[in-house]
Structure 1
Amino acid sequence: MEDRLIVTASPHIRDTSTTRGLMGNVVIALLPAVLAAGLIFGVQALVLVAVTTLACVAFEYIYEKLLKKPNTVGDLSAVVTGIILALNMPVSMPLWIAVVGAFIAIVITKQLFGGLGYNFANPALVGRIVLFLGFTSRMTAYVYPDMAVDALASATPLAVADKTTLPLLDVFLGFHGGMMGEVCVLAILLGFAYLVATRTIQATIPVTIVATVFVLTALNTGSAYTALIECMSGGLLFGAVFMATDYVTSPFTTKGKLFYGVFIGLITFLIRHFGSMNEGMSYAILLGNLMTPWFNAWGHQTPLGYKKAKKAKKGGAE
């Protein structure tokens, strides 16, 4: 029996999960959104995903090769970044701009800060924001599918003033303009179900974000239908499922996740309803990423049996 005694430091709860396995699950979960983009917007959508993903992998490989660092391309994190970044673009995006976004995501945001595990924000998220600021006209040059109904033939759902006139099914299936990965709610929900079923992510963050936006929008507009349409529009669902749940930049405690989700939902609501733009999810997630250390601290769990030490009295110990 003595030979079987192993003395180790915590943590003592372990599993067989690997970075490659977790990232592989995310890639699988993203496939419905990629397929939906191809069906709705055509072959060009698949070309954009392929080029952006290959660029992300190439930049990671070249950077690590030049600096003689261990090659991490095999962990699939660059593949995930490339797919998410591509799905955050309109199908009309020129390929060279997509490559610029890949460089910003992989080299600037990820590798210059030390690689996977050290980035301050989601790399794909930063790539999207920089492209939006630098190439605004390109990032808003939406393509509208032929099957779109009149109300959605020349405007995204968030740009329609009276959202009660929008057909729920068309919004759900993605028959409207927008970023490639955010239009089809069905595809996003399929990916979300897979991630939760495989325990790749917890449902806490996505559910909290969407619930916060729904409740605040319903109270502000007085219409649950408008709130539902708004939750299904823009980058809210895609960002909540695939970007806000990034392991490195999101809280790890349950309370922290709740703080984080409510914060992102609140900022998104405020930008959409009181800001100068229809969409606000990207900026809300970025602020949430920067606030993650505080959310972790506020949500820190008290160890079992812990008692706060009493302060010594003035003039000497008790």
Structure 2
Amino acid sequence: MENYNVSSNPHDRDRITTTEIMLTVIIALLPATFFGVYNFGYRAAIIIVVTVASCVLTEFLYEKGMKKKITIGDCSAFLTGLLLALNLPSTIPYWMAAMGGIFAILVVKQVFGGLGQNFMNPALGARCFLLVSFAKYMTDFTYDGVSGATPLAIIKKGGDFDLYKMFLGSTAGTIGETSALCLLIGGLYLAARKLIDIRIPLFYIGSFAVFILIFNGNGFDYMYLAKQICGGGLMLGAFFMATDYVTSPITKNGRIVFGIILGFLTAILRKYGAGAEGVSYAIIISNILVPLIEKVTQPTAFGWEGKK
């Protein structure tokens, strides 16, 4: 009898390789990356180098030490480091950024079996780890030499902020989240290349918008809604992290449900949570729910079942 080797999920087959997918996502992130360096200066560039280097080196050393196949050539560790950097403030100490990279690869990715086995997005897992461990440094935002609150934090406290600046990105925030325009360009590029299922970001942003319009307390305030969509990490999370192949549902209806849950969780955390953000925790919570979402949205097999 012939024995078959059953590999780990996912089992989708395509001519495009993992390396090509990762490189395409990296290219899509370049507008936000370059703008982040322009917006926050040399420290942003150094943090990007530190997180990418720590992620790649950690993966190499772990696989070398465990006598496993070296996989840094697939660029997944590079992408994790880049996404982590874009989720960090430019003022964070370099050693903390490096610690985040190590945590992302070692704890979130490799301990669970490597690429394809992690149950949450490694970059977001590391960001939440740093946020819990070093809240002071993770919420210290400086723009144009002045330390201050992010636009979302100002709006949450009853203030106002220029929507035009939020759309372009000339604001305080993490390195890669400020420019909605750059993130939208990158997200549409991924959608055009058919590397992401556009249903996830559409239903994510759509359900978020519905909740915000209904429960913002000011009626159907579309200007307020636009600022909520452009502010924070919503665009970055919707297009680049919620669509992660490993941690998002594989069923079509599951991706719709996933997007709706993401939108409502983000809106609830922003509206009623202590902080002004909510994207990172919303995505991680939804990642944990993916097995259940896939179970209830599994398509019915063709045919029918006979009576027993």
TM value normalised by structure 1: 0.89
- Tell me the residue number matched to 1:40: 39
Superposed displacement of residue 167, structure 1 = 1.8
| Secondary structure at the counterpart of residue 234 of structure 1 | coil
Are 2:235 and 1:240 aligned? no
Q: How does 1:119-158 map to 2 (within 5 A)?
A: 119-145=118-144, 154-158=148-152
8 Å CA contact 2:33–2:176 kept in 1: the answer is yes
Superposed displacement of residue 260, structure 1 = 0.4
Q: Distance in 1 between matches of 2:159 and 2:142?
A: 23
Q: Distance in 1 between matches of 2:101 and 2:37?
A: 20
8 Å CA contact 1:157–1:230 kept in 2: the answer is no
2:174 to 168, 179, 185: 179
Q: Distance in 2 between matches of 1:187 and 1:257?
A: 24
Superposed displacement of residue 200, structure 1 = 1.1
- Tell me the residue number matched to 2:165: 170
| Secondary structure at the counterpart of residue 133 of structure 1 | helix
How many residues get paired?
296
Are 2:304 and 1:307 aligned? yes
**Deviates further, 166-175 or 123-132:** 166-175
* Percent identity for Structure 1 against Structure 2: 40
Query: Given residue 80 of structure 1, which amino acid in structure 2 is its aligned partner?
Result: L
8 Å CA contact 2:180–2:230 kept in 1: the answer is yes
Superposed displacement of residue 164, structure 1 = 8.3
- Tell me the residue number matched to 1:210: 205
- Tell me the residue number matched to 1:159: 153
| Secondary structure at the counterpart of residue 160 of structure 1 | helix
Q: Distance in 2 between matches of 1:286 and 1:112?
A: 17
**Deviation digits for residues 90-141 of structure 1, max 9, x if unmatched?**
0011110011001110001100111000011110010000000000000001
Superposed displacement of residue 45, structure 1 = 0.8
Q: How does 1:44-83 map to 2 (within 5 A)?
A: 44-83=43-82
Q: Distance in 2 between matches of 1:277 and 1:245?
A: 24
- Tell me the residue number matched to 2:89: 90
Query: Given residue 287 of structure 2, which amino acid in structure 1 is its aligned partner?
Result: N
- Tell me the residue number matched to 1:18: 17
- Tell me the residue number matched to 1:8: none
Q: Distance in 1 between matches of 2:148 and 2:55?
A: 32
Q: How does 1:161-310 map to 2 (within 5 A)?
A: 161=155, 165-221=160-216, 222=219, 223-304=221-302, 306-310=303-307
Flag the 1:178–1:13 CA change in 2: closer, same or farther, 3 A: closer
Q: Distance in 1 between matches of 2:170 and 2:163?
A: 10
Aligned CA RMSD, in angstroms, stands at: 2.0
Q: Distance in 1 between matches of 2:265 and 2:31?
A: 28
Flag the 1:13–1:207 CA change in 2: closer, same or farther, 3 A: closer
In structure 1, runs of 5+ residues without a counterpart are: 1-11, 313-318
Q: Distance in 1 between matches of 2:190 and 2:197?
A: 8
